[in-house]
Amino acid sequence: MKYRYLGESGLLVSRVCLGTMTFGMEGWGCDEATSIAITNRFIEGGGNFIDTADMYSKGISEDFLGKAIVSHNRDELVIATKCWFRMGDSPNAKGLSRKHILSSVDASLRRLGTDFIDLYQLHGPDPFTPLEETFRTLDDLIHSGKVRYIGCSNFFGWQMVKANALAEKLGLTRMISGQHLYNLLRRDIEREVLPACTDQGMGMLCWSAIGGGLLAGKYDKERGPSKESRVGLRAAVDLPRYWNDDSFRIIDEVVAVAKETGVSAAQTALAWLLGDRRVTAVIVGAKCDEQVTDWLPAGDWDLPQELRDRLTNVVPFNQGYPREWVEMNWGNIAGGEEFPPWEVGGKVDR
**CA separation for the pair 286, 51 (Å, rounded):** 13
CB within 8 Å of 240: residues ≥ 6 apart: none
Check if 242 is active-site.
no
**CA separation for the pair 19, 63 (Å, rounded):** 14
CB within 8 Å of 203: residues ≥ 6 apart: 4, 5, 6, 7, 9, 176, 177, 178, 197, 278, 279, 280, 281
Q: Which of 89, 88, 163 is nearest to 124 (CA)?
A: 163
Residue of 56, 182, 219, 242 marked active site: 56
Q: CA geometry: angle at 207 spanning 175 and 242, to 5°?
A: 140
Enumerate the β-bridge partners of residue 284: 18
**CA separation for the pair 287, 34 (Å, rounded):** 7
Q: Residue 84: left (phi > 0), alpha (psi -120 to 50), or beta?
A: left
What residues are annotated to the active site? 56
